[in-house]
Structure 1
Amino acid sequence: MITIWGRLNSHNVKKIAWAVIEMGLAHRRIDMGGAFGFTPEYLMLNPNRMIPTIEDGDVVLWESNAILRYLADAYAPALRSDDPAERAQGDKWMDWQFHFADAQRDAFLGCVRQGKDGSDPAVTQSAKAAAAMMELLDAELAKRPWLSGARFGIADIPMGVYAHTYFSLPVDRPDLPHLAHWYALLQDRPGYADNVMIPLT
């Protein structure tokens, strides 16, 4: 039984909650962080005051993308290419997700947490920066169906979580057909609706 520590309205927790469904892993999730605070027990596992953290037997691990790689390597190798070059291409987009999160942060916080809309200058600037980055992702998805390569894999999970936020915010977005097609495919994946496509809070 894998224990996931973290509140589900966190982008990084959503990654893991979705991934364990894809992998068919027995798990439980314990709310932590944000309004739930941090217990002394949790801070012994992860002193960074960040989420998520997982416990898998004697393995304690934090950093969401490191967790994804560990879970795939341990339990679902089919979700991670055997070819080092292809695997590295997917890893690149997994890590690129953190730059995208920085670009979209003001739009997310403004619209979801502060009651603003697309007319707010900070929201508009952030939305434009996020859209420009999504144009890069759209160009990548024009060359291959998944960020992981020829088939779905863990490299699709980080940006898959952020794609839902991107398409949910009340801001202007350019027409990016390859991105939209990929997002539609994600919505049919096991666990995506229940763990990612939830109200933004």
Structure 2
Amino acid sequence: MLTVYGRANSSNSAKVFWLLEELGEDYELILTGRSFAPTDTPEFLALNPFGKVPVLRDGETVVWESNAVLRYLAGRKPNALWPADPAGRSLADRWMDWASISLTPPMTRLRKARADGKPGSEADLAAVINAAKALDTWLAPRSFLAGEKLSLADIAAAPSVYRWFRLPESSLSLPALARYRDRLERNEGYVRHIRSALG
């Protein structure tokens, strides 16, 4: 039995929960972080020295960092979410890493500043808008980030895409990105683990 340490309202945990549902995997959830079990105990730090969720335990194997967890889970058995061929896999990987480096950090800082009643930095706002425009351009001729089917790339980027559409700046005309959001909305796992949990 897989064990996941995390919480539903953690965007990084939500990605893992969604993938587990897509793969049809059973798992035990140990609610951890924020108001749940602490992440600064010696026991938890032995699992993840950085004290963050999610953490996955698979027997003696422990995996932390959400994208590493996604890749580990998808790599355990063949599936369409992470292509077997290196070229297809690299395309999904590129978008996973891009979302983690170029989209999520400025989005997180901007949302935090606004939650604190501040406008947020112009640099972060510009980075988020430029990222949304880049997504719109890329998605114009395709249904999903790595082609015509859902992949790990979409699961990794989904929390920040969802949060883009909660910003007033999402009124910009980015039709391909809006269509992409609508496609994600038709996925029950996305609705359950991203839209509902992070709302």
> Secondary structure of the equivalent of 1:77?
coil
Q: 1:161 to 1:76 in 2, by over 3 A?
A: farther
The separation in 2 between residues aligned to 1:143 and 1:135, in whole angstroms, is 14
The separation in 2 between residues aligned to 1:111 and 1:122, in whole angstroms, is 6
Q: State the one-letter code of the partner of 2:42.
A: P
Q: Match of 1:107?
A: 110
Q: Match of 2:5?
A: 5
Alpha-carbon distance, 1:25 to partner: 0.6
1:172 maps to 2:169: yes
Alpha-carbon distance, 1:82 to partner: 2.3
Relative to structure 2, which stretch is displaced further, 6-15 or 125-134?
Answer: 125-134
1:58 maps to 2:60: yes
Alpha-carbon distance, 1:28 to partner: 2.4
1:32 maps to 2:23: no
Q: Structure 2: which 5+ runs fail to align?
A: none
Contact kept? 1:105, 1:126, Cα under 8 Å: no
- Per-residue Cα deviation, 1:108-167 (whole angstroms, up to 9, x for no partner): 11334x2x3xxx431665333211111111111113211122211111111112111111
Contact kept? 1:3, 1:28, Cα under 8 Å: yes
Q: 1:31 to 1:76 in 2, by over 3 A?
A: farther
Q: Match of 2:157?
A: 159
Give the paired residue count: 195
Relative to structure 2, which stretch is displaced further, 132-141 or 79-88?
Answer: 79-88
Task: Report the identity percentage.
Answer: 35
Q: State the one-letter code of the partner of 1:6.
A: G
Relative to structure 2, which stretch is displaced further, 125-134 or 8-17?
Answer: 125-134
Alpha-carbon distance, 1:5 to partner: 0.7
Alpha-carbon distance, 1:9 to partner: 1.6
TM superposition score normalised by structure 2: 0.88
Contact kept? 2:159, 2:194, Cα under 8 Å: yes
Contact kept? 1:22, 1:190, Cα under 8 Å: no
Q: Match of 2:192?
A: 194
The separation in 1 between residues aligned to 2:197 and 2:62, in whole angstroms, is 29
> Secondary structure of the equivalent of 2:196?
coil
Contact kept? 2:96, 2:153, Cα under 8 Å: yes
Question: Could you say what the CA RMSD is over the residues aligned between the two structures, in angstroms?
Answer: 1.9
The separation in 2 between residues aligned to 1:195 and 1:110, in whole angstroms, is 24
Q: Match of 1:21?
A: 21
The separation in 2 between residues aligned to 1:156 and 1:199, in whole angstroms, is 17
Q: Match of 2:71?
A: 69
Q: Match of 1:182?
A: 180
TM superposition score normalised by structure 1: 0.88
> Secondary structure of the equivalent of 1:78?
coil
Q: Structure 1: which 5+ runs fail to align?
A: none
The separation in 2 between residues aligned to 1:58 and 1:110, in whole angstroms, is 40
Q: 1:131 to 1:76 in 2, by over 3 A?
A: farther
Q: State the one-letter code of the partner of 1:109.
A: K
What is the aligned counterpart of 1:97 among 99, 117, 137? 99
Contact kept? 1:6, 1:52, Cα under 8 Å: yes
